[in-house]
Homo-oligomer: A and B are copies of this chain.
């Protein structure tokens, strides 16, 4: 195994040195007060990153998928109805989970490449005068298509419909990389993992519950034990866990939050935007298109790049891995073979990104696509380089 090149998968991300070290921790007694000095700050720090002052934060030794399960099993009962859009593989999988747990689903299918249609949600919610719908599920950033949806607009739709359903948001590939406003958007459950914006190894499901969601847990009938938030609350009150916590990862989570806060959340988001915009300019310089259909849904954490018809986009990923030792993401589900994905979230610099762009170029040329070597790199360099902004402004005058 060689680990020299950065990875460009849409998570897990490249792990910063300081987080590697924070996670790599000797054993401590997780039932001693020492553990509380890791647990409590971690919960508080995540709350701040969610832009919430009151969300109950739960940290499970699990993954984002476990976070989804935490969200629904603690708040819903068999037969409950949820409203959800399907616009990519990850929204699809959450839907599948709901079905397996005996929930009723109202699914709004939209093209993979589009965002969640808030207006359509408003119609449906307005029509649901009996308030049969208990929860609205939204995937903030579709990792499969590089599409970000407007969660504020969904909240607006729910409010406009005067609907009391809970709003549950999958923020796995957005939280800590793109703006996420738990309180302002009236989110009831937010779900993420350790291995994306938090730049940590996988192994934590990180979940925030609003007061309304906590109320719902009292009557929720779905079975749960491992993911039970009451057991967690009881544990937390004693600076403990109902079982063995992933102490090292939680120590890393504290350090990750400290890094994010030291940089400043808005600066972190701006950095992701800047990196992403450079990638997009490279894509356009290649003469290719994003899977995301319009600028308002461009994701700042993942770019899914459409390749010409008749070309198998997955070959780029395979070739990059075997020939250049660089990892990109393949297309999934409806867009399998049609797109390849460049992950650009978490700990990444412009310089690292340029090496990913350069590699993608070499792969595409190797595989016979009509791409000019250096073209995407130059477009990104022009955007990334120091002073380019100022010069552009001057030139525009």
Contact = CB atoms under 8 A, between A and B. Distances in A.
Q: Which 9 A-B pairs have the closest CB atoms?
A: A374-B378, A29-B327, A374-B374, A355-B355, A362-B385, A65-B243, A3-B26, A24-B24, A202-B244
A53 interface: no
Interface stretch (A178-186, A207-215, A219-227, A292-300): A219-227
A375 interface: yes
A365 interface: yes
Interface in A317-358: 319, 321, 323-327, 329-330, 347-352, 354-355, 358
A387 B11 CA distance: 30
A113 to B, nearest CB: 21
A351 B323 CA distance: 11
B244 A100 contact: no
Interface of A: 1-7, 9, 11-17, 20-21, 23-34, 61-66, 68-69, 73, 96-97, 100-102, 193, 195, 201-203, 222-228, 242-249, 319, 321, 323-327, 329-330, 347-352, 354-355, 358-359, 361-362, 365-366, 372-375, 377-379, 381-382, 384-387
A354 to B, nearest CB: 4
A100 B231 CA distance: 12
Given A23-B24, A385-B373, A354 B355 contact: yes
Contact of A244 (B4, B17, B193): B193
Given A34-B1, A355-B354, A224 B100 contact: yes
Contacts of A385: 362, 365-366, 373
A351 B373 contact: no
21 contacts: A1-B34, A3-B16, A5-B352, A9-B29, A13-B27, A27-B201, A32-B321, A61-B63, A64-B244, A202-B244, A222-B223, A325-B351, A326-B351, A354-B358, A355-B358, A362-B385, A362-B386, A366-B387, A372-B378, A374-B377, A377-B377
